[in-house]
Structure 1
Amino acid sequence: MLDHETMVTLGKMGAAAALGLGALGSALGCGTAGMSAITVWKKAYAQGKSALFTLLVFVGAPISQTIYGMLLMNFILGAANAENFNNWAACLGAGIFGGLGMMASAWFQGKAGAVACDALGETGKGMVNYLIVLGVVETVALFVMVFATQTFA
């Protein structure tokens, strides 16, 4: 049997995992899409064309998973700081697996954003279609955040 302080510490580790893994995914996703946007801008400048500022929408899209990680972190911290707290495993599991789900969503949203940068830069068409794809990938992170909080219900 674990003492109360150890259980709280393990629960708070779940909170840190939720934020850290969500932020890791955001960094990977934004970085991936950003590299593509820079390539598209370089090609535009080399051809004497203006750069598409709208590519920043694709670059910034994965950052929201950090916010979802923070929201899940706050929910876990609320549970871990409760006076009668004893569900450290749920907190740790929700933080790790919820964080991994958000990380994957952000990373692959960035990959989709990278391809969207290339496609929009090449054709100048399809912005709405590309945003819809990013929205579908984003929805995975929203589902993970909401459903991970149900671990405590």
Structure 2
Amino acid sequence: MDQNMLITLSKLGAVAALGLAAVGSALGCGTAGMAAIGAWKKAYLKGKNALFTLLIFVGAPIAQTIYGMLLMLYILGKISPEGGTDPTASMWAAYLGVGIFGGIGMLASAWYIGKSAANACNALGETGKGLVNYLMVLGVGETVALFVMVFSMMLVS
């Protein structure tokens, strides 16, 4: 393959990291958002105020998009080093693989954080209790995405 093709495949890995992580964030935020809307509806039907804090849960999966962007920028920085030889010829498969599989890891993390956040919306909406406990559970899922991002960066460093 020529150098342009190798660079293109490397950049595909970079954009995959962002794109897949963003898909996970969209799925997670959408899932949690549906639950928040349902909890607010139940509160309104009972004549109660809606808990604004449910938006914390809805927004929890969005961080994976940022992690995907950071991984994308890291890969792009490796593809086009300032000065020196271009390592893309020998590393293109690593960049592509790290972008795709790192992106899938962040996608899964965001999606399941959203599912957990949906349950947190239901629980907090019904009881008004447990906010910190629910946030701790989401934090564990968030840690997975951070590990994926850092370990992916380490793999291609």
Please give the TM-score of this superposition, normalised by the length of structure 1: 0.97
Counterpart position of 1:124: 128
Farther-moved stretch of structure 1 (109-118 vs 85-94): 85-94
Q: Which amino acid aligns with 2:132?
A: V
Q: Give the paired residue count.
A: 152
Counterpart position of 1:33: 32
Q: Which amino acid aligns with 2:46?
A: Q
Match for 2:153 among 142, 149, 153?
Answer: 149
Q: 1:30-69 residue pairs with structure 2 within 5 A?
A: 30-69=29-68
Question: In 1, distance between residues paired with 2:86 and 2:70?
Answer: 22
Question: In 1, distance between residues paired with 2:67 and 2:154?
Answer: 15
Counterpart position of 2:98: 94
Gaps of 5+ in 1: none
Question: In 1, distance between residues paired with 2:37 and 2:30?
Answer: 10
Question: In 2, distance between residues paired with 1:40 and 1:119?
Answer: 9
Structure 1 residue 16: Cα displacement: 0.6
Gaps of 5+ in 2: none
Runs of 4+ in 1 over 4 A off after TM superposition: none
- Tell me the C-alpha RMSD between the 2 structures: 0.7
Farther-moved stretch of structure 1 (77-86 vs 19-28): 77-86
Q: Which amino acid aligns with 2:130?
A: G
Q: Which amino acid aligns with 1:70?
A: M
SS at match of 1:48: coil
Structure 1 residue 152: Cα displacement: 1.4
